[in-house]
Amino acid sequence: MTLHRPLVTSDCNTEAAVNSSHVTYSNQLYIFAKMFPTQIVNDFVMNISCTFPLPLNVSLNVTVHTVAGPTEINGPSANVSYSIYIIDYPDEFVTTLSHSDPLNVEDSIRIAVKMPDLVANNLNLKVVNIYASPTESSSTQYNLLQDGCPAGNISAAQLTVESNGVGNEVRFATKVFQITNSNTARLSAKVALCVGDCNSTCSP
């Protein structure tokens, strides 16, 4: 019999111990004795663990949970508002990711920020900043995009701007990552509406 469980700290009491060279995930497997009509053997408990070298050369499973529903922002005039969505894709912006899609660290995904009802009155959507944080209330933030371009510590292999500030949809290609000591990563974006083309010129 083979059992598969995701390697997530605190999931079903999974614990992770890290030293200078390895990370070890451990838990306990319980097998309860049959009781018909009486129990004649003890329940069985077995300690289980698996160890991986650091840096991790294995894929850690993560799951993308996209926010359902749009966020509303105001337009240039106070009586107009627009709906904006962040959508994740495992491919070339064709199939959206679902909650059940498995992802691994280093997998390539694409992210689109869309404003479908933006009327083309010389207005373009631009994503100015993107940052990742462990939770919504966390004060810890990791900048991915600053002033429309990848942050200084972000390589082209981790984040690429495919289009930004030239229409009602902004597109990025990125690698799946995991924030140290966290099971979640929340992406937040600061956006702007521009009159005319406001594409950023990013240095290589």
Per-residue pLDDT tens over the stretch 49-61 = 888 765 443 444 5
Q: How far apart are CA 61 and CA 44, in angstroms?
A: 29
8 A C-beta contact, residue 89 and residue 172: no
End-to-end CA distance of the chain: 51
The alpha carbon of 34 is separated from its chain's Cα centroid by a whole number of angstroms, namely 42
For the domain bounded by 61-195, which CATH number is listed? 2.60.40.4100
Q: Are strands 81-89 and 71-74 parallel, antiparallel or unpaired?
A: antiparallel
The position carrying tokens 């005319």 is 196
Helix, strand, coil percentages in the chain from 3-state DSSP, rounded to 5: 0, 45, 55
State pLDDT tens for residues 172-185: 999 888 888 787 78
- pTM surpassing 0.85? no
In tens digits, the chain (204 residues) has pLDDT values of: 777 766 666 678 888 887 767 778 889 988 888 877 777 888 899 999 888 765 443 444 555 555 545 677 777 666 677 778 888 888 888 888 776 777 788 888 899 988 876 765 668 889 999 998 888 888 888 999 999 999 988 888 889 999 999 888 899 999 888 888 787 788 888 998 888 788 877 776
Q: Cβ-count burial of 127 within 10 angstroms (0-12 exposed, 13-18 middle, 19+ buried)? A: buried
Domain boundaries, the chain: 11-53, 61-195
